[in-house]
């Protein structure tokens, strides 16, 4: 669905501790042309799994599966949010399955996992990411990533720019452990 000046993401799950979110499936959605409200801090991403970074605990956002979604032209006029315009953005401390999604022309990251106070974790498979302005796949967290796997993803840049698959120190084989 086209979403203009919504001041948020097209699909967003946000928990306020201690209320858990468990076993949510986000699949078969078509999302296009997200716009942030002008001059506001807004994500205007396609799909976001979020919550309080500091007080959330492992086990409060479990069982998320994001698959079969299509999104394009995400993050137009993303306002002042440096994180706006991603295909999938999450600060979830629990692992998620992200598979079989297609994202085209994103203002920011294709898939970005940024965890505060814990290592990033998840399974990222069979996604197609085309023309991400920032990074195609990005994750960060505290400590060494555990349970973090990525395989069979396609990253393509039609603009001729570099493909930046960011990880510190680097990808190693079929998984990211």
Cβ neighbors of 160 (< 8 A, separation 6 or more) are: none
pLDDT at 15: 81
Higher pLDDT, 83 or 21: 21
Residue 61 confidence (pLDDT) above 80? yes
Mean pLDDT of 5-22: 76
Do 103 and 129 contact (CB within 8 A), yes or no? yes
Residue 153 confidence (pLDDT) above 50? yes
CA distance linking residue 122 with residue 115, whole number of Å: 11
Identify the band that residue 156 occupies on the pLDDT scale cut at 50, 70 and 90. Answer: confident
**Percentage of the chain lying above the pLDDT 90 cut:** 27
pLDDT at 168: 32
Burial (CB count <10 Å: 0-12, 13-18, 19+), residue 176: buried
Mean pLDDT of 102-123: 89
Residue 120 confidence (pLDDT) above 80? yes
Assess whether the previous peptide bond of 150 is cis (omega < 30° from 0).
no
Identify the band that residue 64 occupies on the pLDDT scale cut at 50, 70 and 90. Answer: very high
Identify the band that residue 102 occupies on the pLDDT scale cut at 50, 70 and 90. Answer: very high
Higher pLDDT, 65 or 45: 65
Q: Enter the pTM of the model.
A: 0.82
pLDDT at 58: 85
């Amino acid at each position: 669905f086209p979403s203009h000046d919504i001041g948020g993401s097209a699909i967003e799950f946000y928990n306020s501790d201690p209320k858990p979110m468990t076993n949510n499936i986000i699949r078969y959605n078509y999302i296009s042309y997200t716009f942030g409200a002008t001059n506001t801090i807004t994500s205007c991403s396609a799909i976001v799994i979020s919550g309080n970074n500091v007080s959330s605990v492992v086990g409060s956002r479990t069982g998320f599966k994001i698959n079969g979604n299509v999104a394009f032209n995400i993050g137009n006029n993303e306002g002042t949010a440096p994180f706006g315009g991603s295909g999938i953005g999450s600060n979830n401390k629990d692992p998620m399955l992200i598979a079989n999604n297609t994202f085209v022309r994103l203002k920011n990251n294709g898939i970005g996992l940024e965890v505060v106070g814990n290592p990033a974790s998840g399974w990222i498979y069979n996604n197609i990411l085309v023309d991400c302005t920032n990074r195609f796949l990005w994750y960060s967290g505290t400590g060494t990533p555990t349970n973090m796997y990525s395989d069979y993803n396609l990253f393509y840049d039609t603009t001729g720019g570099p493909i930046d698959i960011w990880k510190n120190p680097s990808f190693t084989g079929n998984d990211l452990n």
